[in-house]
Amino acid sequence: MMMASNIRPEPPAKTGERLLDVKGLTIEIETRTGPATIVDGIDLHVDKGETLGIVGESGCGKSLTMLSMMRLLPNKIKVTKGEANFAGRDLQKMSNSDLRKVRGGDVGFIFQDPMTSLNPVMRIGQQLAEPLIYHRGMSKAEARKRAGELLKLVGIPGAEDRLDAYPHELSGGMRQRVMIAIGLACNPQLLIADEPTTALDVTIQAQIVDLVKDLRDKLGMSVVWITHDLALIAGLVDRINVLYAGTVVEDAPVDALFANPSHPYTQGLLASIPKLSDERSTRLSSIGGTPPEPGRRPKGCPFAPRCPLAEAICHERVPSLEGLGQDGAHRVACFVAQRKLEAA
Amino acid sequence: MGAQPLMRIENLVKHFHVRLGAFGERAATVHALDDVNFDILEGETLSLVGESGCGKSTTGFTLLNLHRATEGKVIYQGKNIVELDEKAMRPYRRQLQIVFQDPYSTLNPRMTIGEAVGEPILFHKLATKAELKDRIATLLADVGLPPRFASRYPHELSGGQRQRVAIARALACQPKFIVCDEAISALDVSVQAQIINLLLDLQQKYGLTYLFIAHDLAVVRHISDRVGVMYLGRLAELATREELFEHPLHPYTKALLSAVPEADPAHERSRQRQILQGDVPSPLSPPSGCRFHTRCPIAMEICGKVVPEWREARAGHMVACHAVTEGLPG
Ligand SMILES: Nc1ncnc2c1ncn2[C@@H]1O[C@H](COP(=O)(O)OP(=O)(O)OP(=O)(O)O)[C@@H](O)[C@H]1O
Ligand SMILES: Nc1ncnc2c1ncn2[C@@H]1O[C@H](COP(=O)(O)OP(=O)(O)OP(=O)(O)O)[C@@H](O)[C@H]1O
Ligand code: SF4
Ligand code: SF4
Ligand SMILES: [Mg+2]
Ligand SMILES: [Mg+2]
């Protein structure tokens, strides 16, 4: 009764057509001492049918970047520069009513914190049905039926019975899967998933990854998947962006990133992953120091205070994201990595 | 390891009564935990793994008497703590801490981070007012947060930063035992490594005991002395780390181990993962006999009828499965 799954279907048709194009997005926060930069002119793009993985240190601005695109930033935090284009339209300039139509419809969102984004006093079936009624014009009965199917798709046992549960009656992983079901409900063109599987065990993680792959291949859905679990997304994503202190420090096709991680921060991240073969209690390697706080960025490369390879120039100038190799598809923002490659 | 049990769990049962239907017209029972038996040894890290919804968090909550046990005992320092009321529980509260799976819902939104971490210190008189600020700063530094975070509110933190505040708050109590419920799951690998190193250091220094609930098997393998595998409200297997990873006996454990992803794209794309077929049964009406029999690749007739006995198959290696013959007489 065991089933081998996960033979990769034909890769989705990538048209090279930009679906999401974020340019120079800068996010600042009001503090007592004036505005402080959290996200510093970030550039991101996702093509139609493409899956982009985003990794980066806790607190580096992953969630705020995604929230800002949908104009869901909390008080005191604002986009001060840049644009975020979805299917050719700038989300920052769209009218509120147009934006509401996109949000939860053509752009599905899976938030990081289920407990804060699920309504605690509303049954989950109703929370799943709402976007279907609003965006896809379903009747209540149709929406309830579809809600049950969605819960089943994300592997919640006894799905029909669980439609009537309140969020607190579900386990942590079930709540997270309700969020995933809501994000996928309307068959979005773009799915933005912020740490969507942190509470799920490996078997269900694999099932969710397969589900997303499936939708991507069938519907040509594009995906932005924020995670710290590089192993999990290794077989899912086409490209990975590594964020540090609110900027992209490395952008590479997934194979290139694992084969040849070039930014010292990326190298540190990969070295910190515990292996199944490790001995117990060996100390895990971790990157010393802490990332800069908003408003306290160092002058040059933001990673310089923690970088084992830092040189004089790193404390003076900010490295820009430059393509390596012939096709330039592997880009890195690091003086040393760029020089190494030029020499090679 | 020959350590003494810190806690002994006997026949623990937890059922939730819920109402179903659009108007809550149908009553039903969630069998979250049924007849669970194990010891937690002093100074060890015991991990609990298993599918989402199998009852790991419920175990943690019920052990600490945060949920009322439906039946069974949890013996700690000679007392069955699950029958104590909140007042009688008070002397144990500081010693027995939990880092919740959902930090946001457990941090008071109107309390600054400094207040949240400082509150238990003052409440249990673990430092004077004059020492408090330093103590808070040290705890925050331990979890990799700068001291200035003390004046922030929970909503002003990222997901991983909040999770670390919850850990600092539990450590502030200088506990003997901590239930870490997915306590590091929202952290990137580098910060995760830092927190794991911290937990192991504290364990060595103060003999702390951990019940570590996690889904990342590489992390579990890294930090555990023993590992328990749960399936749908029951323990399926419990053994030392080496035994469990090298000699898994239960078919569910074997399936679980085969699903671990690796940081290698080519391997991930081509791998043959064994995904268990069949739906996870609903805990509202769990299968009879062995609860795994609806999905077990080697299920036999007896499996649907008789609950397999929880027994020691090899030295210190507990399992509940009819197909395991090791350790049986004859
Ligand atoms: N409301 C807020 N007020 C002040 N600072 C905030 C607020 N929200 C977030 N921040 C800060 O902005 C930075 C970026 O936060 P963000 O939530 O985007 O991080 P993240 O990359 O998603 O991290 P994680 O992996 O931990 O979820 C963090 O340092 C955080 O402390
Ligand atoms: N307060 C509650 N009321 C009703 N049912 C509940 C309640 N809390 C938990 N349950 C149910 O008990 C079962 C076990 O839940 P539990 O939270 O212990 O699972 P878990 O193993 O921690 O899962 P996860 O890995 O997803 O966090 C689930 O079916 C859940 O829906
Ligand atoms: S630019 Fe310099 S400091 Fe920055 S990552 Fe490269 S070597 Fe390190
Ligand atoms: S008792 Fe039977 S159904 Fe249960 S795990 Fe063992 S063989 Fe499979
Ligand atoms: Mg985040
Ligand atoms: Mg849980």
* B198-244 pLDDT per residue, tens: 899 889 988 999 999 998 888 899 899 999 999 999 999 999 999 99
Residue nearest to atom 8 of ligand 2 (CA): A169
Residue partners of A98: CB distance under 8 A and separation at least 6: none
Q: How many independent structural domains does chain B possess?
A: 1
CB burial class (10 A; 0-12, 13-18, 19+) of residue A13?
exposed
- Please report the pLDDT score of residue A11 as a whole number: 46
B327 in any annotated domain: no
Give Cα B213 distance to the centre of its chain.
3
CA-CA distance, A334 to A258, in Å (whole number)? 17
Instruction: Assign B266 a pLDDT band (cuts: 50, 70, 90).
Output: confident
* Cβ separation A280–B245 shorter than 8 A: no
pLDDT at residue B81 greater than cutoff 90: yes
Chain A closest-CA separation from residue B78 CA (Å) = 31
Q: Is B17 in the pocket of ligand 1 (CB under 6 A)?
A: no
A-chain CB neighbours of B179 within 8 Å are none
* Cβ separation A202–B217 shorter than 8 A: yes
- Please report the pLDDT score of residue A157 as a whole number: 86
- Please report the pLDDT score of residue B273 as a whole number: 60
Tens of pLDDT, residues A150-177: 999 998 988 888 999 999 999 989 999 9
State mean pLDDT over A82-91: 93
pLDDT at residue A270 greater than cutoff 70: yes
Give the residue with greater pLDDT, A187 vs A10: A187
B325 in any annotated domain: no
B149 in any annotated domain: yes
- Please report the pLDDT score of residue A279 as a whole number: 62
B328 in any annotated domain: no
Residue nearest to atom 12 of ligand 2 (CA): B32
Cβ pair A154, A177 in contact under 8 A: yes
Q: Outline where chain A has alpha helix (H).
A: 62-69, 96-102, 114-117, 124-136, 140-153, 159-162, 172-184, 202-219, 230-233, 254-259, 264-271, 335-343
B22 in any annotated domain: yes
B-chain CB neighbours of A278 within 8 Å are 218, 221-222
CA-CA distance, A119 to A141, in Å (whole number)? 21
CA-CA distance, B273 to B258, in Å (whole number)? 6
Q: Is B163 in the pocket of ligand 1 (CB under 6 A)?
A: no
* Residue of chain B whose Cα is closest to the Cα of A75: B156
Instruction: Assign A113 a pLDDT band (cuts: 50, 70, 90).
Output: confident
pLDDT at residue A207 greater than cutoff 60: yes
- Please report the pLDDT score of residue B260 as a whole number: 72
Task: Give the predicted TM-score (pTM) of the model.
Answer: 0.88
pLDDT at residue A4 greater than cutoff 60: no
CA-CA distance, A211 to A223, in Å (whole number)? 12
A273 Cα–ligand 3 center, Å: 21
Give strand pairing partners of A195. Answer: none
Residue nearest to atom 26 of ligand 2 (CA): A173
| Amino acid found at A93 | K
Q: What is the DSSP letter of B101?
A: S
* Cβ separation B22–A173 shorter than 8 A: no
CA of B18, closest atom in ligand 2: 4
- The mean pLDDT value of chain B amounts to 90
- Residue A168 half-sphere exposure, CB side, CA atoms within 13 Å? 7
Instruction: Assign A237 a pLDDT band (cuts: 50, 70, 90).
Output: very high
* Cβ separation A58–B161 shorter than 8 A: yes
B291 Cα–ligand 1 center, Å: 42
B78 in any annotated domain: yes
Residue among B181, B191, B219 whose CB faces A57 most closely: B191
Closest CA to B220 of B192, B250, B247: B192
B95: helix, strand or coil: coil
Cβ pair A27, A81 in contact under 8 A: no
Residue the block writes with tokens 């060996």: A282
Residue among B51, B157, B275 whose CB faces A5 most closely: B275
Q: What percent of chain A has pLDDT over 70?
A: 93
* Cβ separation B272–A6 shorter than 8 A: yes
CATH of the domain at B24: 3.40.50.300
B221: helix, strand or coil: helix
Lowest average pLDDT, out of A65-79, A265-279, B194-208, B278-292, goes to: A265-279
Tens of pLDDT, residues A134-152: 999 999 999 999 999 999 9
pLDDT at residue B41 greater than cutoff 70: yes
* Residue of chain B whose Cα is closest to the Cα of A285: B193
Cβ pair B184, B192 in contact under 8 A: yes
Structure tokens at B203: 């364990």
* Cβ separation B104–A283 shorter than 8 A: no
Residue among B53, B265, B274 whose CB faces A258 most closely: B265
Closest CA to B167 of B190, B198, B130: B198
Cβ pair A274, B222 in contact under 8 A: yes
B281 in any annotated domain: yes
B326 in any annotated domain: no
- Please report the pLDDT score of residue A12 as a whole number: 47
Domain hosting residue B115, numbered range? 5-263+273-319
* Cβ separation A280–B274 shorter than 8 A: no
B-chain CB neighbours of A226 within 8 Å are none
A-chain CB neighbours of B53 within 8 Å are 156-157, 170-171, 173-174
CA-CA distance, B8 to B73, in Å (whole number)? 8
Instruction: Assign B272 a pLDDT band (cuts: 50, 70, 90).
Output: low
